[in-house]
Structure 1
Amino acid sequence: MQHPKFSKSADRKFVRELQKRVRKYFKDNNLSTHANLSMKLKTVLMLSLFTIPLLILSLGIVHSVGMLFTLYIISGFGMAGIGMGVMHDAIHGSYSNNSRLNRFLGYTMNFIGANSTVWRLQHNVLHHTFTNIPESDDDINMPFFLRFSPHKKKYKIHKFQFIYVWFFYGISTLAWITMKDFVKLFRYRNIGLIESKKEFQEKLIELSIWKLSYYIYALVLPAIFLPFSFWIVLLAFVCMHLVTGLMISCVFQVAHIMPGIVFPEINKDGEIKNNWLVHQFLTTTNFAPKSRILSWMIGGLNYQIEHHLFPNICHVHYRQISPIVKSTALEYGIPYNEKSSFAGAISDHVKMLKSLGK
């Protein structure tokens, strides 16, 4: 598979200036670009929110259906917190300057039922490099019933996608823990992201073992030890994933599927006319920059522009470097897409889904 290339000559002065100013912020304030105490405390909290409810359920001491669902839903919030606020930084290598620690914390992705190898290839390699570019960005390469790009073939069913998309957002992590990781692993082998046959086999075995382990401690053990019918426990398990799926999908999709966002096409020479950093500004949106609570909960991903520009910087620093990024962009005439609230971003996301379905 041939991926596009970005211009190395366009906006070079802007790129150098932006990078210089961000480096200066950390140098002047004698700060590390990695995790701070707040980030470490969040890590402990999110891991606890996920694991403690499942441990309580596996002990068989819960006798109320209401408590069953409550504990699973709490675990769902912890799962989303791990996904957005722990493993995300770790797999980007921004959690720590210790690569072993990053790798270890990256395995929290496996711990919540997904797979760190597949995520790294889909998110770090394809999405971050080729944001909103058809075929190359796997985050917009959706099944036929979802149209997330104006360059994708349109069907009559897309007229209603703004209604039914929420169901698929909800079940997204259920798809993740069942079939998606396997499908993606085979796809990445076929397009050359996994070249070695031995490596592919090892990753496939590792993926299968992690999946089996997840199902055992997240579903099988509670079903065995709790005094409820299996279908009730299964329904609570599904509710946990509905919470996680909706949270994660909304946060990631509203950053890129928005009115005014660019979906670049590749020219005949296989190139994108813009510099890679400028491309990130054109294809990404921030939202709710003043909401510290939301930002803390979703791993700073309301500052998606800063994240895409500097994925090697831990998300706890995005709020501080955002004014630097914004002022520099506006100074050089680069658009800085931003929505004042999360609700407003969701509303605009719906408008974009309607527009893509017309």
Structure 2
Amino acid sequence: MVFKTAIMLLLFFTPLSIIIFSSITSVPLLFGLYILSGLGMAGIGMGVMHDAIHGSYSKNKTINRIMGYTINLIGANDKVWRLQHNVLHHSFTNIDEHDDDINAPFFLRFSPHAKRNKLHKYQHYYAWFFYGLSTISWITSKDFIRYKRYYKMGLIKDRSTYRKGMMKIIAWKLLYYSYALVLPIVLTAFAPWTVVLAFLAMHFVTGLSISLVFQTAHVSPNAAFPLPDENGHLESGRLAHQLETTCNFAQKSVLLSWLIGGLTHQIEHHLFPNISHVHYRKIAPIVKRTAEEFGLPYHSNGSFVSAVSKHFQMLRDLGRMDMLPIEAIPTNQ
């Protein structure tokens, strides 16, 4: 983990340092360095901060807290992520209006229970572009919108905590913008709009990378989208629910698993979020055998390309039907 952390932090900060402190004049090189930094940003997001905020980076809580701040270094916010991901996504996986990962803007539909409009018919073509914009949304508006909404939901204990948290979000974002955008504009010979475009290209690479990994794990023909009963209860228990709503991919790819923080094994992550991702490959056969023993699903979408293809299929189906056929919404009833 320490080696990976160093690699990803260097991959993010080194290109930015070259942009700021060297005298490059090549526009393609500027874009190349920013894009390289974007890959480092994605690596930090999936391979470092994700474990840290789950408390699985280290046995030491202080180290987890410190490494969790790496999400702030790439423009997002640790407190917002903890509420959105740890609390809402992991507690209410694939449950419409509860899981923020599938609570999409009006032009996207990630759940068969969400309202469909005419635009959704084409979402399997244009969704990828908006995936690329996702981290741009994080660093500009989404963190503020979500933090305010979580306060209204009662997930933030009092107004004083809310105000302090909001000030910290602003401070971290100002720090991020200073070295990722302002200094390159001020200290290089490039036109400001050129730097801004390169900065946006960096985020597009990051957003697309992260979205493909997380969305293919849940918005898939294999995954269930259960609804609670009138009392707010689900038929399945927590562990069964995670097995029903989550899919693995590329389980044999050691390199891809290393690059994306073990998220080729999303099932193992959802069952045991407090275990470091370095152990997922080892426990996967045990999890699969146990699931089969109890008659529970263990979804695998094959290669990463296959998983993306199935996600494309799911987006297409969600855009064409108000409710998907029962075989596309598997349950264990």
Residue 249 (structure 1) aligned with residue 211 (structure 2): yes
How far the C-alpha of 1:40 sits from its partner, in A, is 1.1
How far the C-alpha of 1:135 sits from its partner, in A, is 1.2
How far the C-alpha of 1:258 sits from its partner, in A, is 0.3
Residue 302 (structure 1) aligned with residue 264 (structure 2): yes
Residue 196 (structure 1) aligned with residue 172 (structure 2): no
Letter in 2 for 1:206: K
How far the C-alpha of 1:350 sits from its partner, in A, is 0.5
2:41 and 2:206 in contact (8 A); partners too: yes
How far the C-alpha of 1:65 sits from its partner, in A, is 1.2
The residue number in structure 1 matching 2:112 is 150
For 2:187 and 2:205, locate their aligned partners in 1 and report how far apart those are by CA, in whole Å. Answer: 24
For 1:57 and 1:327, locate their aligned partners in 2 and report how far apart those are by CA, in whole Å. Answer: 50
The residue number in structure 2 matching 1:94 is 56
Cα deviation, 1:51-74, whole Å, max 9, x if unaligned, reads: 111111111421211211111111
For 2:316 and 2:147, locate their aligned partners in 1 and report how far apart those are by CA, in whole Å. Answer: 32
How far the C-alpha of 1:264 sits from its partner, in A, is 0.6
The residue number in structure 1 matching 2:324 is none
How far the C-alpha of 1:270 sits from its partner, in A, is 1.1
**SS of 2:91 mapped into structure 1:** coil
Residue 109 (structure 1) aligned with residue 91 (structure 2): no
TM-score (norm 2): 0.95
2:12 and 2:40 in contact (8 A); partners too: yes
1:337 maps to which of 285, 299, 314: 299
Cα deviation, 1:305-333, whole Å, max 9, x if unaligned, reads: 00000000000110111011011111111
1:264 and 1:272 in contact (8 A); partners too: yes
Which residues in structure 2 correspond to 1:55-204 (within 5 Å)? 55-204=17-166
1:261 maps to which of 210, 215, 223: 223
Which residues in structure 2 correspond to 1:1-12 (within 5 Å)? none
The residue number in structure 2 matching 1:224 is 186
2:7 maps to which of 38, 42, 45: 45
Superposed structure 1 runs of 4+ greater than 6 Å apart? none
1:60 and 1:225 in contact (8 A); partners too: no
1:235 maps to which of 194, 197, 203: 197
For 2:212 and 2:222, locate their aligned partners in 1 and report how far apart those are by CA, in whole Å. Answer: 18
**SS of 1:271 mapped into structure 2:** coil
For 2:194 and 2:266, locate their aligned partners in 1 and report how far apart those are by CA, in whole Å. Answer: 38
Identify which range, 114-123 or 47-56, moves more after superposition.
47-56
For 2:45 and 2:279, locate their aligned partners in 1 and report how far apart those are by CA, in whole Å. Answer: 18
For 1:347 and 1:260, locate their aligned partners in 2 and report how far apart those are by CA, in whole Å. Answer: 12
1:60 and 1:222 in contact (8 A); partners too: no
For 1:337 and 1:51, locate their aligned partners in 2 and report how far apart those are by CA, in whole Å. Answer: 37
For 2:222 and 2:64, locate their aligned partners in 1 and report how far apart those are by CA, in whole Å. Answer: 35
For 2:96 and 2:153, locate their aligned partners in 1 and report how far apart those are by CA, in whole Å. Answer: 15
Letter in 2 for 1:197: R
1:329 and 1:336 in contact (8 A); partners too: yes
Letter in 1 for 2:293: E
**SS of 1:43 mapped into structure 2:** helix
How far the C-alpha of 1:136 sits from its partner, in A, is 1.1
Letter in 1 for 2:313: K
2:72 and 2:172 in contact (8 A); partners too: yes
How far the C-alpha of 1:195 sits from its partner, in A, is 2.1
Which blocks of at least 5 consecutive residues in structure 2 are unaligned? 321-333
Relative contact order (C-alpha < 8 Å, sep 6+): which is higher?
Answer: 1
Letter in 2 for 1:112: I
For 2:35 and 2:118, locate their aligned partners in 1 and report how far apart those are by CA, in whole Å. Answer: 36
**SS of 1:270 mapped into structure 2:** coil
Cα deviation, 1:221-266, whole Å, max 9, x if unaligned, reads: 0111111101111111111001100000000000000002111111
Aligned residues: 320
For 1:238 and 1:305, locate their aligned partners in 2 and report how far apart those are by CA, in whole Å. Answer: 32
For 2:162 and 2:82, locate their aligned partners in 1 and report how far apart those are by CA, in whole Å. Answer: 15
Letter in 2 for 1:40: V
For 1:200 and 1:116, locate their aligned partners in 2 and report how far apart those are by CA, in whole Å. Answer: 14
The residue number in structure 1 matching 2:330 is none
Residue 328 (structure 1) aligned with residue 269 (structure 2): no
